[in-house]
Chains A and B, each alone.
Chain A
Amino acid sequence: MSMILLIEQVLNGLQFGVMLFVMAAGLTLVFGVMGLINLAHGSLYMIGAFAAATVAGMTGSFLLALAASLAAAAAAGAIVEVVVIRRLYARDHLDQVLATFALILIFSEGTRWLFGSFPLFLDVPDWLRGPVSLPGGILYPAYRLAIIGVGLAVALGLWALIARTRLGIRIRAGESDREMIAALGVDISKLYTLVFALGAALAGLAGALVGAIQSVQVGMGEPVMILAFVVIVIGGIGSIKGALVASLLVGVTDTLGGVLLPVAFAQIMQPSNAMLVGSALASMLIYILMAVVLVVRPSGLYGARA
């Protein structure tokens, strides 16, 4: 295996990882502040992708498409929060799981109804098409590099928002003591709607960005959402920093595992068997990683509470 291929795969892993982070950040924020487990986060990812594909189809502009994905997902998030989610904060996790599972059914079937079962296509914009040459003679797709950039910018922006702004102070206060911040005169229900819409907008952005390299279809969000859960379990619930570290870890592990394990097994067994065992094991690798983290640190790498 050549060094260039390996570096390419590491970059692919990073690209996958930062997108997982953008998903996981919203989930972990919502859980940290409102104590809510939201299974419908994947639906918001899907809504972002469909909005982007629709707007790109109408206007041809990728930037407008991205703006549409943010706006549509944030709006859907805000509406869902006001109509449904708000009633669930005081309920137990079982009710939250079921209500948000019901939301998945509604969003998925509603989207299928509006757009049909065939996937839509969202094209990479012309100015990001084609490869970029990196030091060391590596050619890497400019679009994927841009995704890594956007993901890191989101991470930085979130950090600045939470550490440096008034809203961030309120979010942190909401995480540590919900009753107290309400008693201090902060309009807690507006804060909740805002945080939920922010998480939703991030999910929508991730959906639109990934939608341009995969197809945009109903059901695209749930596998990513489940991976975001794995990320949160590894990183520790409620921790943005944990989500960043864990999502990069999961992204790189998954991508490199898929490439390296068959090669590694080929050293000790026949190539055809090695391919088989290697790819089967690679599909389980991140869950094994999660299991190991659970054994060593049950509350995650950066988790404060179990």
Chain B
Amino acid sequence: MIAEKHLNWLISAVLLAVPVAAWLAGEVYTVTLATRVAVLALAGVGLNLALGSGGLVSLGHAAFFGAGGYAMGILASHAQSYQPLMEWPFLIEGTKSMPVIWLVAIASGAISALAIGVLSLRTSGVYFIMITLAFGQMFYYFAISWPAYGGEDGLSIYVRNGFPGLDTLQPIQFFALCYALLIVALVLCARINASPFGLALNAVRQSAQRVETVGLSPLRLRLTAFVLSGAITALAGALFADLNRFVSPTMFSWQTSGEIMVFVILGGVGRLYGPVIGAAVFIMLEHWLGGVSEYWQLFLGVLLLGVVLFARGGLIGVFARRRVGHG
């Protein structure tokens, strides 16, 4: 048993040390796996803001993950074909520059989250779960039936997008970018949780009625958290698309939403580093069990069931002392 703060430092260090060591040893595949962990963890960090801090059980975060992915795919495919995105009323061209793509991804995630949030936050509890799931599915079917950007086949990007001063085709450099963004998001979430907004959000999760009686609007707090959460997950979507150099409607599918939620829960809901360790364990299981059996998700299902029924507080809850009150 160690303090959660020390465990967090340890996780950050291991996630950095493993790919660097692998890179020095020439094991490129391990670097790619670590990049997947960092990117998926970032998606989980986004969800954790809504789920852990805000108590909003969203089963539709694939919508934001996919929105970020398609923001990258659409911009890069236009840059690839030299066709402007829009000529009227003003000229918008595609781009291969990561910072611009990230901003667009964040904006599209935030806008989607605002639209979905305004509608679904009118309800709560089980309605909210069903509605976010349904809206996620709407994005999925839209992506399939809109052929301009690949429809069901998705979009391929031939060369990974660039970042000023870095060679993103080098796996370790791309990993460094994703890792840095993950750390920035984690620091941001830690700051949010400690801020007056974060405290109010925590209070809304525990008792919306009491928060309302002190003059704060639970709806506005939840909506803000939901939008921030969607924006972070969308950024992860753009990175995920860049990692694979491919976007497809699968990013929008309900399984994606479920998996992002699994990262958060495996690690521990409301724990800052929960999604990081959850994503790491998920990728390791996928890698190892996937090598043992084609049906590795069967074992994942059994493990997940075990965690939900018997190990509340997730993996971090098993190792770290402090328990976060959740109810």
Which A residues are closer than 8 A to B by beta carbons? 31, 37, 84, 87, 92-95, 97-99, 101-106, 108-110, 112-113, 222-223, 226, 229-230, 232-233, 237, 276, 279-280, 282-284, 287, 290-291, 294-295, 298-299, 306
How extensive is the interface on chain B, given as a class?
Answer: 35 or more
Is the pair B304, A98 in contact by a Cβ cutoff of 8 Å? Answer: yes
The complex places the Cα of A295 from the Cα of B119 at a distance, in Å, of 7
Is the pair B265, A98 in contact by a Cβ cutoff of 8 Å? Answer: yes
The complex places the Cα of A282 from the Cα of B131 at a distance, in Å, of 18
Is the pair A223, B295 in contact by a Cβ cutoff of 8 Å? Answer: no
Query: Within the complex, which residue of A37, A95, A226 is in contact with B126, where a contact is CB–CB below 8 Å?
Result: A37
Query: Within the complex, which residue of B57, B59, B130, B144 is in contact with A233, where a contact is CB–CB below 8 Å?
Result: B130
Query: Within the complex, which residue of B134, B261, B296, B302 is in contact with A101, where a contact is CB–CB below 8 Å?
Result: B261
User: CB-CB < 8 A to B305: which residues of A?
Assistant: 84, 99, 102-103, 106
User: CB-CB < 8 A to A276: which residues of B?
Assistant: 146-148
User: CB-CB < 8 A to B129: which residues of A?
Assistant: 37, 93, 97
Is the pair A102, B131 in contact by a Cβ cutoff of 8 Å? Answer: no
Is the pair A113, B127 in contact by a Cβ cutoff of 8 Å? Answer: no
User: CB-CB < 8 A to B297: which residues of A?
Assistant: 105, 108-109
Which B residues are closer than 8 A to A by beta carbons? 51, 57, 59, 119-120, 122-127, 129-131, 133-135, 137-138, 141-142, 144-148, 254, 258, 261-262, 265, 269, 295-298, 300-302, 304-305, 308-309, 312, 327
Query: Within the complex, which residue of A102, A112, A230 is in contact with B295, where a contact is CB–CB below 8 Å?
Result: A112
Is the pair B126, A31 in contact by a Cβ cutoff of 8 Å? Answer: yes
**Closest A residue by C-beta to B128:** A93
Is the pair B302, A287 in contact by a Cβ cutoff of 8 Å? Answer: no
User: CB-CB < 8 A to B254: which residues of A?
Assistant: 222, 226
User: CB-CB < 8 A to A93: which residues of B?
Assistant: 57, 125-126, 129
User: CB-CB < 8 A to A222: which residues of B?
Assistant: 254
> What 14 additional pairs, Cβ within 8 angstroms, besides A97-B59, A105-B297?
A98-B262, A98-B308, A99-B304, A102-B308, A103-B305, A109-B295, A112-B295, A233-B127, A233-B134, A280-B142, A283-B138, A283-B142, A287-B137, A298-B123
Is the pair A237, B127 in contact by a Cβ cutoff of 8 Å? Answer: yes
Is the pair A105, B126 in contact by a Cβ cutoff of 8 Å? Answer: no
